[in-house]
Amino acid sequence: MQRFILGKKNKIALIGAILIVIGFTGGLGFKNEVVAVWSFAIASVLGVLPIAIQAYQALRVKVVSIDVLVTIAVIGAFLIKNLEESAIVTFLFLFGAYLEQRTLNKTRSAIKELTEMAPESALKLMENGEFEEVEVDEVDVGDILLVKTGAKIPVDGTVLSGEGHINEASITGESVMVSKEKGLSVYAGTILENGTLQIVADRVGEDTTFGKIIELVEEAQDSKSEAERFIDRFSKYYTPAVLVLAIIVWLISRDIELAITILVLGCPGALVIGIPVSNVAGIGNGARHGVLFKGSEVISDFSKVDTIVFDKTGTLTIGNPKVVDKEFYVDRAEEVIAYLASVENESDHPLANAIVEHIGDTKLYPVENTDVVKGGGIIASVDGHRIAIGNVALMKREKVYLSEKARADIARFEERGNSLVLTAVDGELKILMGIRDQIRPGVKEVLQKLKRLGVKNLVVLSGDNQGTVDLVARELRLTEAHGNMLPQDKSAYIEELKEKGHIVAFVGDGVNDSPSLALAQIGIAMGSGTDVAIETSDVVLINSDFSRLPHALGLTKATASNMRQNIFIAVGVVLILLASVFFSEWMNMSIGMLVHEGSILLVILNGMRLLRYRLRK
């Protein structure tokens, strides 16, 4: 029965409105008091039923909710035969709840839009060699799929054949066409605007980038910030306090109508809903613009950031380094190059990939006894020789002699901003390579925007040599630059910044960034980074779109400001209403409820402004 009545709340509100119109028409228009009294009485009884049920459910869990205050106020007004006001209060409360739900649903439109974008079917290559349409849940990793013009990409995958242009708005927030061809990655939920592609499924279902976006946004919208938890605790004690105040007023004044009016006016509805609606709208805006906030708490902390620390490779730079300089300290280098390629071919480090790509096809030897030296390089046995490949620190550890020429070459390479890779065979230096990465396009402009948004310190930390890091810092006008840093050094530096009172955000994309991402107040992961980095972070920039960082920071500041505005509106309205009870003649239950519902709608509409937020140019 309770469920039935609560399910008909909107219809009850409509019936209440009709009865109130009949009551006023009968009483004022036709001077028929019987029709007026019965209309208002039935409207009051019907209207209070769903409110009383919600009040009962709240009291069962020992919570004095807004519904409890309104139920007591309506019953009190009914008992003193103030039927007109009791009917109007119940209608306004139910109608206000209906409007609140309608407008709140709009603030959750981002997650609704995302789920509607999710692909439902795929054309899968079957054993008979034909492509057949199947449910997307039936696609497994390794399956080959056909995507035609206008269709949604069903999974994260790699293009096997074909060419086309894809709209990646569901991932990046920008409706910019991205060209795809063999070997390039595609993402679930994006749309093939033209062309035909065959792809192999790499990640399916909830493991796709799109699936993770939906999961993270849902979790974030259901989370609560410290401010929300404070308001929950506050309302837990505030609402009973209003009830006690009404009782005290009644005991002193013996004016039951005054006490009932206080119950209605003191309802903290706008205060309770103002902060959640701001957070939900902010998270929704971020999701639609390629930024994932993992919860409301993140928004509050991010808005206060004064220091942003960046990893260099893959964050400030593209993360696709190339060999640009090299020196040989051996007459015939072919064999040493083959040793170098053999060892680096077994590594997935960006510098190793650059070396393998530069060397190209060559003879490869079996590699044995591989030892990865953290922050140094690799030591291995190849064809009976001890091969050491890494930085200068590794050479010192291996007691490799560096001649004057080698030292001069190292200094020269560092001045050019190169990362150094030295190769030693049996303790003798044979090859020096300089590898350089390119700074991401538009990074300098992004950093300037961050400064304008109030970030005082922009710092780069890297395991690369100091010369390379300094070169990047000079070009990007960073506040500080620190090279030759191991993961533990980065973490220690962030801890030091926090101890000095800075609110620190760390931006990175690799496994070795995970400790720093976790330690900083705000960890920001590039979306194409490792799963570990993304899981550890608080904010994810989808598709590694660095240009989204200012939007993310600006949005958190706008959201924090919006929350303060809503608190001011909610508290201000309650204070004005309570003051008007004691210092004016015009305030009554009906007017109070009307203003109360109006304040709730005002904070909701104010919060919804965040859905349209864009960073000013």
pLDDT one-digit tens code per residue, 368-393: 988 888 778 899 999 999 999 999 98
| Predicted pLDDT of residue 530 | 47
Q: The tokens of 342 are what?
A: 């053999």
Query: Per-residue confidence at 458, pLDDT binned at 50, 70, 90?
Result: very high
Q: Residue 530 belongs to what domain range?
A: 291-318+439-544
C-alpha to C-alpha distance for 235 and 64, rounded to whole angstroms:
9
**What residue has token string 């064999």?**
335
Work out the average pLDDT over 7-15.
89
Based on the domain organization, do 443 and 369 belong to the same domain? no
User: Which parts of 539-614 fold into alpha helices (H)?
Assistant: 548-583, 589-608
In this structure, are 424 and 446 located in the same domain? no
My answer on whether 273 and 223 are in the same domain is yes
pLDDT higher than 60, residue 529 = no
Give the span between the Cα atoms of 221 and 295, in whole angstroms.
Answer: 6
Place of tokens 């190849």: 382
Q: Which residues pair with 525 in a beta bridge?
A: 508, 540
Query: Do 462 and 537 belong together in one domain?
Result: yes
For the entire predicted model, the pTM comes to 0.66
Question: Are residues 176 and 150 part of one domain?
Answer: yes
At 329 the pLDDT is 93
The pLDDT tens digits of the residues spanning 312-343 come to: 877 888 767 889 899 999 888 899 999 999 99
Report how many domains make up the chain.
4
From 143, 311, 409, 470, active-site residue:
311
Q: How far apart are CA 180 and CA 223, in angstroms?
A: 37
pLDDT at 575 over 60: yes
Is 38 among the domain residues?
yes
User: In the predicted model, is pLDDT for residue 548 greater than 70?
Assistant: yes
What's the CATH number where 191 sits?
A: 2.70.150.10
At 531 the three-state DSSP class reads helix
Q: How far apart are CA 327 and CA 341, in angstroms?
A: 16
66 and 98 within one domain: yes
Q: CA 333, 338, 339, 341: dihedral to nearest 10 degrees?
A: 120
Tell me if 115 is assigned to some domain. Answer: no
Is the same domain home to 450 and 516? yes
Residue 173 has pLDDT above 70, yes or no: no
103 and 227 co-located in one domain = yes
Query: Which bin fits 124, alpha (ψ -120 to 50), beta or left (φ > 0)?
Result: beta
Partners of 423 in the beta sheet?
389, 431
What is the rounded CA–CA span in Å between residue 364 and residue 383? 10
The yes-or-no answer on residue 513 being catalytic is no
Residues 254 and 384 in one domain: no
Phi-psi group of 556: left, alpha or beta (phi > 0 → left; psi -120 to 50 → alpha; rest → beta)? alpha
Judge whether 114 lies within some domain. Answer: no
Please compute the mean of the pLDDT values over residues 55-79 and round it to a whole number.
Answer: 84
Non-local CB neighbours of 105 within 8 Å, separated by 6+ positions: none
| In a domain? residue 208 | no
